[in-house]
Chain A
Amino acid sequence: MDATRLVVVGNGMAGMSCLDRILQYQPGFAVTVLSEEPHCNYNRILLSSVLAGEKTLEEIYINTPEWYDQNRIDLRLGVKAVDVDAAGRTVTAATGETIPYDKLLLATGSVPFIPPIEGINLDGVFVFRNLADVQALLERCRQRGHAVVIGGGLLGLEAARGLLNQGMKVTVVHLTDRLMDVQLDVAGGAFLQRTIERLGIDVRLNHKTTKLLGDRRVDGVMFEGGSILPCDLVVIACGIRPSVELARRAGLQINRGIVVNDHLETSDPNIFAVGECVEHRGKVYGLVAPLYDQGKVLAATITGHKGPGYEGSTLAAKLKIIGVDVFSAGEVQVTGPECEVAAYQDEGTGVYQKLVFRRNRLVGTILVGDVGRANRLLELIRRQEPVGEQRYRLLFDTAEAKLGAAEDVMSRADEEMICGCVGVTKGRIIEAIRGQGLKSLAGVKTCTKASTGCGTCTQLVEGILRAVVGDQVEEKKNHLCACVPFPKAQLRTMIQTQRLKSVQDILDIYGNGAGCGFCKPALSFLVDEVWLGEHHEDRSARFINDRVHANIQNDGTFSVVPRMPGGVTSAEQLRKIADAADKYQVRMVKVTGSQRLDLLGVKKEDLPKIWADLGMRSGHAYTKAVRMVKSCVGTDFCRYGTQNSITTGIKLEELLEGLYTPAKVKMGVVGCPRNCAEATVKDIGLVGFEGGWQVVIGGAAGKRVRAADILATVPTTEEALEAALLFFQYYRERGEYPERTYDFVERVGLETIRRETVLASPEKKQALLDRLAKAKTKTVNPWDTESKQPVHPMQFTDFVLPKDAEALRNQPAAPAGG
């Protein structure tokens, strides 16, 4: 007997997840998939993340071409089904081809609802539904300008955020009096609106769009009443409608969607439907979890394993905008006298939490600002069990759990659902990590399918992974850190466009709220570098060396290295150093490899005092910054000298002193090619010769030994210094913390660096030098400023408690227990 011919119309998430299950039951089908879109199956939910630049197109594909091959699926990409002959059991494609079937699965999804507005066909008007839409939008965003999003629902807000990330000015216009009016109540909408506005998105409620203006290309939106909002781009996000055209042609029963029973059977015994296109018990679903549930039931039905039917799902929605936490489930409006509401709202922190009870059962919830309890509450709504007297407790976590949100996941029960979309419990994830020896998020996703739906559980899954395998977790290379999962270059842009001025803001909005010992200093550098001192300096995010401007030693004391530009000192400085060494009883005075002196073994509380006594500038020997310029004696003394290396070295050091960099920058200036101060193994080196200088970059004599590359050969000292400055600023802006110049040069390539610095246009060069000059004006000698006035009064202080019993008695009475 020939294999049963199964034709699937639609290559989306619902159809393919159902097909995956069908094949698990019974691999024997001869499957044809008709995909109108010319791509393999991808995660539609993550389109907004692609628009926001948080994910690449490659990252959202679900099934590879190999998957289709391995399962012997005849995948027809770019082939649209236009007709169904239910009696003759054939599907007709737009190409004219007729494809016979034994069973037909309709997974046609939905189409954007386009309101009847004049001007809808103008150039520059987009919908936001599929990959092609996102690609077109990304392309258009390069021209920048003002984008108007019509529709303040889930999709519209996600689109708005994406456009903002792409550098657009964004206005969301919405027909009714609150955002996400289907999922939120008035208060929830107001809380959401404040958060959205704080991102820099302009929101206009009660605006009915009547016309899109423009000749060929859209240049404005007109509202009822005649007011006009000029714009360069319009995105229509007014909701979606089930795509039922094909079902209509097949003669199926249709209401809002394709009507199906509890087994996902349509009115035709050979035709089945799943996903956003179906209507089940009067409900149409647009979110992924119900579609997966339907797929499970349908797979059983279609393969003859008919079991329990699909009974409908609790409607739930989560907004996928990083930093804007909104969750809504079940009945959110009070519908009668038997409804009771418990709510908590805190305008200061933007947290709004509402529970709706009926007969002491939880029937709905709205969470804004904190969605940590979303899965637990959804489970309660599903169970429909009485919630008990202390139901208000559902609104609150303990303080400890809140502080340790990232680790909190481990305190949950193994049975608890982590990925609500696919249905994966914590226990299953741990079992997979242990059983398969998984070390990456990608591994866990592949193995368990957790976090392959909407992606909001990614942090929880990562938290579990980290808790189980600790530091063995393999991070994605281009991401700064698992705490802030964004590529470094993109973070820099986000900090700029979102005007993020503190490390904690970045962690709260884009990260896990806590950060770690690596990313906090990295973000500190980025914020400082982007805002050139206009940022909020958060010392807690800095490594101890940067909090106290000294280098911590293995016994907890610190080392103090005063600056000696060019490696030149004086009798007066040496006397001061000697006196300070005596006064603070330093353990050792050491000549460093960088032509300066190191006072080792200084106590933290003595640091401000020793700085004041020394009266010298910080050598920044403790941080990722300009360290020093080492020099030879050059034409001042040397009989072979061809260039004045001392004066040039001091000048270079003073031009760059005090600037922070992705990693430390050591420099050298030598007066002849004998290279006595080893300039060719420095991050930046100037090598003098008779009649000019060679400017070299990317040298190293540390963990790696690398001869520097020649950036430029120039006749004058001014040009040599300018070349050094151009490279320095380019590295400051493009280097990835904590990348040394020798890795930077290899990553970016010498030709690119030359083109962007010494060979760049005069305007480009001047812009680099201007930004450097601006940053330089913000530099300070921290030993001076913070010996007079520490950033925090207790910056250098310990608490010493009185030992003796007498002192103890004089203290206030110990507090009562509790």
Chain B
Amino acid sequence: MPTWRLVTECGTIPVREGRRVICGKEEVALFNLGADAYLAVENRCPHRQGPLADGIVAGTSVYCPLHSWRINLETGCAISGGEGCVKRYPVKIADGKIYLAFDD
């Protein structure tokens, strides 16, 4: 049963940027795609564990800041660079707040 955890309020992450969310041992990259759309994936590129939260967002994908692998945030899988996937985290918006679902 996943637990929804409050991360922050909408608007604290600039549009088309990501931020790192740390919860225990888990590191999540949470992205604001604009128009109240948020997506989240594990903050480690499948290639060399680059921090995806620091990548450049283009549409619904992000370019890893280390070697420019491009990760589709909807599927969690690499579109270019090489092959590999990262874990996705469900995101929910309610009352202007952003929640992430973690497996407890």
**Which A residues contact B (CB, under 8 angstroms)?**
399-400, 403-407, 470-471, 483, 504, 512-518, 520-521, 538-544, 547, 552, 554, 556, 604, 792-794, 797-801, 803, 808, 811-812, 814-816
Contact check, B5 vs A470: say whether CB atoms are below 8 A apart: no
Q: Which B residue's beta carbon lies closest to that of A404?
A: B60
* Interface flag for B79 (CB, 8 Å): yes
Most buried by B among A404, A517, A798, A803: A517
The complex places the Cα of A261 from the Cα of B3 at a distance, in Å, of 70
Contacts of A403 in B (CB 8 A): 33-35, 37, 59-60
Contacts of B54 in A (CB 8 A): 544, 547, 552, 556, 604
Contact check, A544 vs B55: say whether CB atoms are below 8 A apart: yes
Contact check, A799 vs B63: say whether CB atoms are below 8 A apart: no
Q: A517-B68, A540-B14, A799-B21 are in contact. Are A554 and B58 (CB under 8 A)?
A: no
Contact check, A544 vs B97: say whether CB atoms are below 8 A apart: no
Contacts of A815 in B (CB 8 A): 4, 92, 94-95, 97, 99
Contact check, B19 vs A799: say whether CB atoms are below 8 A apart: yes
Q: A515-B58, A552-B66 are in contact. Are A801 and B14 (CB under 8 A)?
A: no
- Which residue of A407, A538, A803 is within 8 Å of B23 (Cβ)? A803
Q: A554-B48, A815-B99 are in contact. Are A513 and B7 (CB under 8 A)?
A: no
Q: A403-B59, A517-B56, A815-B95 are in contact. Are A554 and B66 (CB under 8 A)?
A: yes
The complex places the Cα of A231 from the Cα of B55 at a distance, in Å, of 50
Q: How many residues of B contact A (CB 8 A)?
A: 50
Contact check, A399 vs B35: say whether CB atoms are below 8 A apart: yes
Most buried by B among A517, A799, A800, A808: A799
A2 to chain B, nearest CB (A): 58
Q: Which B residue's beta carbon lies closest to that of A812?
A: B6
The complex places the Cα of A460 from the Cα of B26 at a distance, in Å, of 38
Contact check, A543 vs B65: say whether CB atoms are below 8 A apart: yes
Q: A403-B37, A517-B63, A798-B22 are in contact. Are A792 and B3 (CB under 8 A)?
A: no
Contact check, B65 vs A552: say whether CB atoms are below 8 A apart: yes
Contact check, B50 vs A404: say whether CB atoms are below 8 A apart: no
Contact check, B55 vs A799: say whether CB atoms are below 8 A apart: no
The complex places the Cα of A799 from the Cα of B6 at a distance, in Å, of 10
Contacts of B49 in A (CB 8 A): 556
The complex places the Cα of A521 from the Cα of B65 at a distance, in Å, of 12
Contacts of B16 in A (CB 8 A): 504, 538, 540-541
Contact check, B56 vs A407: say whether CB atoms are below 8 A apart: no
Contact check, B33 vs A799: say whether CB atoms are below 8 A apart: no
The complex places the Cα of A483 from the Cα of B14 at a distance, in Å, of 22
Q: Which A residue's beta carbon lies closest to that of B18?
A: A540
Contacts of A816 in B (CB 8 A): 94
* Interface flag for B76 (CB, 8 Å): no
Contacts of B35 in A (CB 8 A): 399, 403
The complex places the Cα of A542 from the Cα of B57 at a distance, in Å, of 10
The complex places the Cα of A793 from the Cα of B11 at a distance, in Å, of 11
- Which residue of A404, A556, A808 is within 8 Å of B59 (Cβ)? A404
Contact check, A513 vs B59: say whether CB atoms are below 8 A apart: yes
B34 to chain A, nearest CB (A): 8
Contacts of A404 in B (CB 8 A): 59-60, 74
Q: A403-B33, A541-B56 are in contact. Are A814 and B99 (CB under 8 A)?
A: yes
Q: Which B residue's beta carbon lies closest to that of A800?
A: B22
- Which residue of A399, A405, A543 is within 8 Å of B37 (Cβ)? A399
A547 to chain B, nearest CB (A): 8
Q: A517-B70, A556-B50 are in contact. Are A801 and B4 (CB under 8 A)?
A: no
**Known A799-B7, A815-B4; further 15 A-B contacts with Cβ < 8 A:** A403-B34, A403-B59, A514-B59, A516-B70, A538-B16, A540-B56, A552-B54, A554-B48, A797-B19, A798-B19, A798-B22, A803-B23, A814-B4, A815-B99, A816-B94
Contact check, B59 vs A405: say whether CB atoms are below 8 A apart: yes
The complex places the Cα of A673 from the Cα of B6 at a distance, in Å, of 65
- Which residue of B63, B92, B99 is within 8 Å of A516 (Cβ)? B63
Contact check, B51 vs A556: say whether CB atoms are below 8 A apart: yes
Contact check, B23 vs A808: say whether CB atoms are below 8 A apart: no
The complex places the Cα of A365 from the Cα of B29 at a distance, in Å, of 41
Contact check, A799 vs B30: say whether CB atoms are below 8 A apart: yes
Q: List 14 A-B contacts (CB under 8 A).
A: A400-B74, A403-B37, A516-B58, A517-B63, A520-B58, A540-B56, A541-B16, A556-B51, A792-B17, A798-B19, A799-B7, A799-B22, A812-B6, A814-B3
Contacts of B4 in A (CB 8 A): 814-815
Contacts of A520 in B (CB 8 A): 56, 58
B84 to chain A, nearest CB (A): 13
The complex places the Cα of A538 from the Cα of B59 at a distance, in Å, of 15
Contact check, B12 vs A794: say whether CB atoms are below 8 A apart: yes
* Interface flag for B15 (CB, 8 Å): yes
Contact check, B17 vs A540: say whether CB atoms are below 8 A apart: yes
Q: Which B residue's beta carbon lies closest to that of A807?
A: B5
The complex places the Cα of A804 from the Cα of B77 at a distance, in Å, of 31
- Which residue of B20, B21, B22, B56 is within 8 Å of A543 (Cβ)? B56
Q: Which B residue's beta carbon lies closest to that of A512?
A: B59
Contacts of B30 in A (CB 8 A): 799
Q: Which A residue's beta carbon lies closest to that of B11?
A: A794
A570 to chain B, nearest CB (A): 34
Contact check, B66 vs A801: say whether CB atoms are below 8 A apart: no
Most buried by B among A542, A792, A798: A798
- Which residue of B22, B51, B95 is within 8 Å of A801 (Cβ)? B22
The complex places the Cα of A799 from the Cα of B27 at a distance, in Å, of 10
Q: Which A residue's beta carbon lies closest to that of B26?
A: A801
Contacts of B50 in A (CB 8 A): 556
Contact check, A407 vs B60: say whether CB atoms are below 8 A apart: yes
Most buried by B among A406, A513, A792, A815: A815
Q: A406-B59, A471-B80, A540-B14 are in contact. Are A812 and B37 (CB under 8 A)?
A: no
Contact check, B21 vs A801: say whether CB atoms are below 8 A apart: yes
Contact check, A539 vs B60: say whether CB atoms are below 8 A apart: no
Contacts of A799 in B (CB 8 A): 7-8, 19-22, 30
Contact check, A539 vs B17: say whether CB atoms are below 8 A apart: yes
Contact check, B59 vs A407: say whether CB atoms are below 8 A apart: yes
The complex places the Cα of A543 from the Cα of B58 at a distance, in Å, of 12
Most buried by B among A470, A515, A798, A801: A801
Contacts of B14 in A (CB 8 A): 539-540, 792, 794
Contact check, A812 vs B97: say whether CB atoms are below 8 A apart: yes
A623 to chain B, nearest CB (A): 13
Q: Which B residue's beta carbon lies closest to that of A504?
A: B16
The complex places the Cα of A794 from the Cα of B12 at a distance, in Å, of 7
The complex places the Cα of A399 from the Cα of B36 at a distance, in Å, of 10
The complex places the Cα of A470 from the Cα of B24 at a distance, in Å, of 36
Q: Which A residue's beta carbon lies closest to that of B64?
A: A517
The complex places the Cα of A520 from the Cα of B63 at a distance, in Å, of 11
Q: Which A residue's beta carbon lies closest to that of B31?
A: A540
Contact check, B58 vs A514: say whether CB atoms are below 8 A apart: yes
* Interface flag for B13 (CB, 8 Å): yes
The complex places the Cα of A400 from the Cα of B37 at a distance, in Å, of 8
The complex places the Cα of A808 from the Cα of B95 at a distance, in Å, of 18
B100 to chain A, nearest CB (A): 8
B22 to chain A, nearest CB (A): 5
Contacts of A513 in B (CB 8 A): 59
Most buried by A among B5, B15, B55: B5
A512 to chain B, nearest CB (A): 8
A349 to chain B, nearest CB (A): 10
- Which residue of A471, A541, A547 is within 8 Å of B81 (Cβ)? A471
Contact check, A808 vs B58: say whether CB atoms are below 8 A apart: no
Most buried by B among A516, A539, A554: A516
Q: Which A residue's beta carbon lies closest to that of B30?
A: A799
Contacts of B13 in A (CB 8 A): 794
Contacts of B23 in A (CB 8 A): 800-801, 803
Q: Which B residue's beta carbon lies closest to that of A558?
A: B54
Q: A399-B37, A404-B74, A470-B80 are in contact. Are A808 and B51 (CB under 8 A)?
A: no
Contacts of B33 in A (CB 8 A): 403
The complex places the Cα of A803 from the Cα of B3 at a distance, in Å, of 12
Contacts of B37 in A (CB 8 A): 399-400, 403
In the A-B complex, the 6 residue pairs with the smallest Cβ-Cβ separation, listed nearest first, are A517-B63, A815-B94, A514-B59, A540-B16, A814-B4, A544-B54
